[in-house]
Amino acid sequence: MKAYDLEKRAIFTPKGQESLSLQDVDVFYGDNHVSRQVSMVFPKNQITALIGASGSGKSTLLRSLNRLNDGIAQVKGQIMYDGQNLNAPEANVYQIRRQIGMVFQKPNPFYKSIRKNILFGLRDQNLSKATEEEILEDVLRQAALWDEVKDKLDKSALGLSGGQQQRLCIARALALKPEVILMDEPTSALDPLATAKVEETMLALKKEHTIIIVTHSMQQAGRIADNTAFFHKGRLMEYQPTTKMFMTPELEITQDYLSGNFG
């Protein structure tokens, strides 16, 4: 097994069409250099898991992909999507966040009805009532929540269970029709049954979407991710098809992390 050598590392290029690609991405919180020279490709219609010990910069990198670090951290390097550098100062942040949606660790429904949660992001579009209803049903079905909520769409979203709230947040993100969905530990606040439902939803969503997920659960990465990227101290150490990563990692440090020797 190989030790890590920055100069000689092979950059893995996953199979499939490219969705997002990063070239030499560095992120700084003031003097704290958190993400270091990250270059990688996220393939379209696949699930990519970002794993690594706490503090290895996974969330920071994820949040840079749709400019959620604006005003918080300095992001350098190229984040290419559809021929455009999303990290360029002139890039349209509003447009980026429509194309690249985000689901957070803790379900964060608005203090509104289920219906209003879904339609909130569409309120400026002057859609007809019929179109709104179509979108509502469509995204709730995609998030595997429709059957559970169809009779209480005007009830408060806060009355839903944690797992239902998280699927509502996924549906709310879907209403904006993003191509890419970023998920930051989306099931860490959920019980195993709710986790299984959200994972099923993710697997169904990848037919139409590209999913990038930060997870601390190796089992979860094993169940859902096509490819897995391991980060250590801000660097992308190893990036492989998930089965290869777990069965035959190339680097000692990956093996150590996967065996629970640190992290």
Q: Contact positions toward ligand ATP, by CB under 6 A?
A: 29, 32, 34, 52, 54-60, 72, 214
Give the tokens for residue 215: 């997870």
Task: Write b or e for each residue in 168-199: b if 16 or more Cβ atoms lie within 10 A of its Cβ, otherwise e.
Answer: bbbbbbbbbebbbbbbbbbbebbeeebbebbb
- The residue whose two tokens read 């390097």 is 77
Phi, psi angle pair for 181, to nearest 5°: -125, 125
In the chain, which residue ranges form alpha helices assigned H by DSSP? Answer: 58-64, 93-99, 114-119, 129-142, 146-149, 162-174, 192-205, 218-224, 242-247, 252-258
What H or E segment, with its residue span, contains residue 180? strand 180-184
- At its nearest, how many Å lie between ligand ATP and the CB of residue 34? 4
